[in-house]
Structure 1
Amino acid sequence: MDAPQKPLVSIIAISYNHAPFIREALESVFGQTYAPIEIIIADDHSTDNSLQLIEEACTGREITIISNTNNRGNCKTFNDAFKSAKGSYIIDFALDDRMYPDRVAKQVALFERGEPSMGVVFTNTDIIDEVGTFLYNQYPRFHHRLASVSVPEGDVFKDVLSRYYINPVGMMFRREVIEHLNGYDESLAYEDFDFWIRSSRIFTYTYLPEILSSKRLVPHSLSFNFYKKNKEHLFASTLTVCKKAWWLCKNEVELKALVHRCRYELKQCIQYGYTGISKEYLEILKETDRYYFLYNGIVRCRMWFIR
């Protein structure tokens, strides 16, 4: 009797000016112990020699390469690449990161044992610097694999709403998740927060307590530069997602998580001088935070002095 056919995994690898890291990143993909894997690489109109390095690394391999004629951003670039994907499971992978050899195999195995409602499997992650030196783990560990902190899983809506705790580099998700969401929201400057909010309202998240990837902190990357000046489009996207989350909240616990998030984002907006966005957060808090009137005056005074 023939062995049952294993599910296809689509790795959608996105590059934008990742030239120094492309060979290492792609070798980590090529070195996966699992098969079958479909690799789709999308270069978002890099201004360095990323595309040339991608083409050289993929010579002789059956890989789909997409080259954008203009810079479209992560959300649209992923959505366009996803149209070519045939896999049952999807990994959104940046070509400045790395995955370890058993990553795909272990995540697929967990999915195959789980319920159809399990939409996302995420892992612990090594955080490395630009030259690949280990810095720390996403979740601190007691020993070689178990996290020393409690990692929320299952229905994680309130958890992903209140704080950032999942590293996207460690995620794999079912095809049905991205189909149900109609892809990433292309009006946003980044995808992670919106994906977590919308998908966790419908699907469960499962934590695999192993380190199967490494996230590289690069000075010019989006994540490295998020909370800085001249990044108003990122702050505006976060506000948009918070507004979506407001309508998705079902109970007081989830509303408290929203308040916690909005308070934090409001402080960041005030610090970096985004007065218009700050006022919109105050409008949300006016309707959701019972302590709004205690600090509203203080916040508005700070906004006035920063102008």
Structure 2
Amino acid sequence: MVKPLVSIVIPAYNNAEYLDETMRSVLAQTYERIEVIVADHSSTDETLAVMKRYENDPRVTLLSTEAGGGALRNWNRVSQAATGEYLKLVCGDDIIRPELVERQVAALEAAPGSVLAATKRDIVDADGRPFVRGRGLGRLRGRVSGAAAARATVRAGTNIFGEPACVLMRRDALESAGWWDNRFPYLIDVASYVRVMLQGDVVALDESLASFRVSESQWSVRLVRDQASQTIGFNRSLRAERPDVVRRVDLSLGDLRARLMARVRQASYLYLGRRMSRTSTAVAEGS
């Protein structure tokens, strides 16, 4: 068997409702040199039973992670178990398009010295219906320096690279960065990307090749405020560590936009909540 070049890792936790769809999207990749590593983080639902449907697939390795430690423990568990040169983390309720890995591998292979490739994504509701299409990357296109990419996400006041399913990175660069960065828990993804991208260049693909599912747990005012507060905290931390990357003007603009984005995000989630409520009512009335 040819050694996999890409490791797709799935840190699963109480994802029984969606994990099968996620797994099918991962295993449908047109790029063949992949391994898939799934770890159940002591779920209390049927996540483990769903995982076991795939135990006979030679591409799939099933693991378990002890309870505790938050997302960081399971994200590091699956990432450190990966053997591929490139790594993609897919959360247990997200979906990737069949050509995603193939496109991102080609982009990285064509750009020696690049350490991370990112694509746009669609944001979908709990039923998988698109809510926002082609979201992410700001004005980044093609190959850019890691410093420029990091500065762009700071200035945006939000994670312009999207969830981990949108990103393919060099595993050794993530290891050099100290694995996933959980100092700001809501920013575990983008904080880690930044530490990776500061080691090389980034390739931004102007295509929407993944879907991120928004759940009811993301509709609270407190959560949105915490996200904004942690974004500001991360930006200031990065400015203190790398003033050559984040200038004062970048920080000021990023702080302002983080607060504005919190209001936009809350309004969007409220709208989505009402839409889901109307759908549930219509289904109930029609049954």
Please report the TM-score for the alignment, with normalisation by the length of structure 2. 0.77
Aligned length: 254
Comparing 243-252 with 159-168, greater Cα deviation is found at 243-252
Question: Are 1:138 and 1:167, in contact at CA under 8 Å, matched by a contact in 2?
Answer: no
Q: Are 2:181 and 2:189, in contact at CA under 8 Å, matched by a contact in 1?
A: no
1:162 maps to amino acid: R
2:9 is aligned, of 1, 8, 12, to: 12
Name the stretch that deviates more: 107-116 or 53-62: 53-62
Pairwise mapping of residues 210-289 of structure 1 onto structure 2 (< 5 A)? 210-220=207-217, 224-225=218-219, 228-229=221-222, 237-238=230-231, 240-251=233-244, 254-265=247-258
What is the TM-score of this pair, normalised by structure 1? 0.73
Tell me whether 1:49 sits opposite 2:46 in the alignment: yes
Q: 1:252 to 1:132 in 2, by over 3 A?
A: closer
- The reply to whether residue 63 of structure 1 matches residue 60 of structure 2 is yes
Corresponding residue of 1:120? 116
> Which residue in the other structure is 1:22 paired with?
19
1:166 matched to which residue of 2? 161
Residues 54-99 of structure 1 deviation map (CA, whole Å, 9 limit, x = unaligned): 1123344442222223132222211122221111110011110111
1:263 CA drift (Å): 3.8
Indicate if the aligned counterparts of 2:39 and 2:63 stay in contact, CA closer than 8 A. yes
Question: Gaps spanning 5+ residues in structure 2: where?
Answer: 263-287
- 1:237 deviates by 4.7
1:94 counterpart SS class: coil
Specify the code of the residue in structure 2 equivalent to 1:108.
V
Task: State the Cα distance separating 1:18 from its structure 2 match.
Answer: 1.3
Q: Distance in 2 between matches of 1:60 and 1:35?
A: 13
**Superposition deviation, residue 185 in structure 1:** 2.2
Pick one of 46, 71, 76 that aligns with 2:73: 76
Structure 1: gaps (5+ residues): 141-146, 270-307
SS in structure 2 opposite 1:47? coil
Q: Percent identity?
A: 23
Whole-angstrom CA distance in 1 between matches of 2:71 and 2:231: 15
User: Retained in 2: the 8 A contact 1:249–1:255?
Assistant: no
Where does residue 205 of structure 1 map in the other structure? 202
- Partners of 1:84 and 1:253 lie apart in 2 by 33
Pair member with larger Rg: 1
Please state if 1:151 is matched with 2:147.
no
Which amino acid is the alignment partner of residue 235 of structure 2? C
Q: Deviations over 1:161-218 (max 9, x none)?
A: 1222221231111122202201012444241231233233332211112222111112
Q: Is the 8 Å Cα contact of residues 122 and 207 (structure 1) preserved in structure 2?
A: yes
Using the alignment, how far apart are the partners of 1:57 and 1:234 within structure 2?
35
1:160 to 1:230, Cα distance in 2 relative to 1, 3 A = closer
**In 2, distance between residues paired with 1:6 and 1:41?**
18
